Structure 1
Amino acid sequence: MRTIITKAFFAAAALCSAHAVAIAQDAPMGPTQNGPPPAAEAPAAATPAAVPQPQMGPSAPAAKVTDCPGNPNPLGVSRVVEIDTTGGPGFGFQHYKMYDFLNPKEVVLTFDDGPLPNRTTAVLAALNAECTKAIFFSVGKVAAGYPDILHEVAKAGHTVGAHTMDHKDLSKLPFDDAKADIEKSFSVIHRAVGSGTAPFFRFPFLRHSPETLKYLADRNVAVFSTDIDSFDFKGGKPDALVKRIMANLDKRGKGIVLMHDIQPHTAAAMPALLKQLKAGGYKVVHMTAKTPIQTLPEFDEMVAKDMQGMPTALSDRPLNSVVKTISGQ
């Protein structure tokens, strides 16, 4: 367990520098269309039968003043949208330009690469204090190391999607390897959360191939790009990050915002960012899925073997009922 956690932490720490290199090199992106690639492209491998899993519950209602203890004027959630992921729709105008569902001054908050202690947990605390919601695209290896944190993210009502198992550039991998990286992440994240997770996926470095895009369409998984990239992986101070995000939002007027919950300055910036969104008249839209991801048995078994001894679902007992100081301060 300690080895897994240590590897997860250093894997997460390495993600952002790799992301920065990719952006600096301005590597070409995959196609921007939704749905299948042209006929000349190689077809995706047949999808194995999915194991039946519980349906996701009804979407949470928008937050109200009375729903946010300790905060009489929360940012909250202006509306909840349910996504039918049949055929793999794409969201985020940087790559997928079909579904313009946001109204002016509406934002979707998204976070990649977590979960990590003291970072994802700080982001979660800031969101909870404003009774607002986000989408977390988790990396499988990191989720394997900190399943309790991801479990808390889902328990708080946030949407949990996948961001591959190892944060590799899938556009450069053979299709079978890319498929395994995708499916392992679905299985690990579902195992960590212990309940239905969303069929939402974001490609590392925002790069896909025609084959992986078609595969996710066949799997009925929605794919996400972004409208506003915070570039928080480049570092900097929290106040500068807030100013950059707000300036880009004010310029565009709305959008899906990409951030990283493994970044310490992002976690530190969240309270101020949420207050600035509220002051600027922005409203948060929470994206949920009509049905949960259906993980594949072969990858569930593979993950279960790799993670022997780790919990499949975590206890909901409060901290003070599990850990109690009996001496000292």
Structure 2
Amino acid sequence: MKNDEWLQGRRTLLRGGVALVGLAATAGCWSADRAGGPAKPAPAGGAAGARAKQLPKASAYRLAPMTGSGPQRAAPARPPVRKAPILQMSTATRSMVLTFDDGPDPRYTPDILATLRSHDVKAMFFVCGEMAEESPDLLRRMIDEGHTIGNHTWSHPELPRMDRKKIRDEIERTCDAVQKAVGETPRWFRAPYGAWNRDVFELGSEYGMEPLAWTVDTLDWQEPGTGSIIRRVLDGAAPGVVVLSHDAGGNRSQSVAALRRYLPELLSSGYRLGVPTRAV
């Protein structure tokens, strides 16, 4: 009888221990989710509207720490919520930043990367998630060669026309695609068409990204001619300038040709071309 009572008491204790472990695991998952961080080409500039696709209800990146499908990642430092995008970088040195939107595109991005590499210049690539998902090898090449990848939404919509949930989906899906390709999420965000509102600034900050616009627009999406693109870059050159070009979203052969010509001229004029390490 005593043995039966002892066994019954031990079973009760074991059941209680299992329940406590279950509660602890549930609390741990909730805390991980709370602490977790952010997890083609649509036409550039004034080109025709972006292609619409059905967006998922939840991000695989955000669910990964809870489902155990991937390693838990630390949340990125959250920058301040800005009221306007950054237009230029520090003017303390004779430096400029070259940026390329809407890619990657296997027809044009490799040539742009090759030109940058031949001059040992680093640039920023604001990628669309649907393009990034199709060419993850190009994203890995960008990182391997020292460039910076930014978030340019999934499908290049006009964000202020969307509700907050849809904006979040556009931003989060692209963070997921970049994370999957290169193992880290973007730290910079650029709104398609340069169209911003408070929701965009708040969500960008929530995902650990600074908003970057541009100082010089090459208007290369209009295919104005290689010479026109070159003149816009050289005429707008100045310390702190951020140059907007595109490596996808249409025929970008003029953008590729223009880069080959204006890049050595900028370097010979004493400009340093690189990527920002922090916002101003």
Q: TM over 0.5, yes or no?
A: yes
**Are residues 1:286 and 2:275 paired?**
yes
Corresponding residue number in structure 2 for 1:86: 79
Q: CA deviation at 1:197?
A: 3.7
Aligned to 1:196: 184
Q: Which residue of structure 1 lines up, in the alignment, with residue 104 of structure 2? A: 115
**Inter-partner Cα distance in structure 1 for 2:230 and 2:152:** 24
- Cα displacement (A) at 1:236: 2.5
**What TM-score do the two structures reach when normalised by structure 1?**
0.60
Report the CA distance between 1:176 and its aligned residue: 0.5
Q: Does the CA contact (< 8 Å) of 1:159 and 1:288 recur in 2?
A: no
| Structure with the largest fraction of helix | 2
Give the structure 1 partner of residue 13 of structure 2: none
Contact 1:105 1:253 in 2 (8 A): yes
SS of the aligned residue for 2:121 comes to coil
Mapping 1:103-142, distance limit 5 Å: 103=92, 105-142=94-131
Task: Output the CA distance in 2 between the equivalents of 1:95 and 1:86.
Answer: 12
Runs of 4+ in 1 over 6 A off after TM superposition: none
How far is the alpha carbon of 1:264 from its aligned partner?
1.8
Counterpart residue identity of residue 273, structure 1: Y
**Aligned partners of 2:81, 2:97: CA distance in 1, in Å?**
19
Q: CA deviation at 1:119?
A: 0.4
Residue 270 of structure 1, aligned match among 239, 259, 271: 259
CA contact (8 A) 2:99 2:245 kept: yes
DSSP 3-state at the match of 2:232 = helix
Separation in 2, partners of 1:88, 1:246: 33
Are residue 207 (structure 1) and residue 207 (structure 2) matched?
no
Q: CA deviation at 1:242?
A: 1.0
Matching residue of 1:19: 46
Deviations along 1:270-295, one digit per CA (max 9) or x if unpaired, are: 121211111222111322469xxxxx
Distance 1:88 1:49 in 2: 25
Measured at CA, do residues 85 and 134 of structure 1 come closer, stay the same or move farther in structure 2, by a change above 3 Å? farther
TM-score (norm 2): 0.70
What is the Cα deviation at residue 214 of structure 1? 1.6
User: What amino acid maps onto 1:256 in structure 2?
Assistant: V
Residue type matched to 2:46 in 1?
H
Gaps in structure 2 of 5+ consecutive residues = 1-39, 50-61, 66-71
Write the letter of the residue equivalent to 2:73.
Q
The residue type paired with residue 116 of structure 2 is: L
Of 56, 60, 73, the residue aligned with 1:53 is 73
Q: What code does the residue aligned with 1:241 have?
A: I
Q: Does 1:244 align with 2:232?
A: yes
Q: Secondary structure at the match of 1:212?
A: helix
Residue identity over aligned pairs, in percent, reads 25
In structure 2, C-alpha distance between the alignment counterparts of 1:216 and 1:270, rounded to whole Å: 30
The one-letter code of the counterpart of 2:228 is: A
Does the C-alpha gap of structure 1 residues 181 and 174 become closer, same or farther in structure 2, counting only changes over 3 Å?
same
Unpaired stretches in structure 1, ≥5 consecutive residues: 1-10, 23-47, 57-83, 291-329
Hey, what does 2:207 align to over in structure 1?
219
Tell me what 2:4 maps to.
Answer: none
Change (3 A) 1:187 1:236: same
Q: Determine which of 202, 217, 240 is the counterpart of 1:229.
A: 217
Q: Which has the larger Rg? A: 2
Distance 2:260 2:139 in 1: 20
Return the offset for 1:216. Answer: 1.9
Asked if 2 retains the 8 angstrom alpha-carbon contact of 1:199 and 1:289, the reply is: no
Query: What is the rounded CA distance, in whole Å, between the counterparts of 1:125 and 1:100 in structure 2?
Result: 25
Are residue 257 (structure 1) and residue 239 (structure 2) matched?
no
Superposed displacement of residue 55, structure 1 = 10
Moved more, 112-121 or 214-223: 214-223
SS in structure 2 of the partner of residue 19 of structure 1: coil
Matched, 1:155 2:155: no
Question: Which residue of 1 is the match for residue 28 of structure 2?
Answer: none
Distance 1:198 1:288 in 2: 13
Deviation at 1:104, TM superposition (A): 5.4
1:18-72 deviation per Cα after TM superposition (whole angstroms, max 9, x unaligned): 62479xxxxxxxxxxxxxxxxxxxxxxxxx799543799xxxxxxxxxxxxxxxx
Tell me the matched-pair count. Answer: 219
Aligned pairs for 1:27-42 (under 5 A) are none
1:254/1:215 CA distance change after superposition, 3 Å: closer
Task: Indicate how the Cα distance of structure 1 residues 211 and 283 shifts in structure 2: closer, same or farther if over 3 A, else same.
Answer: same
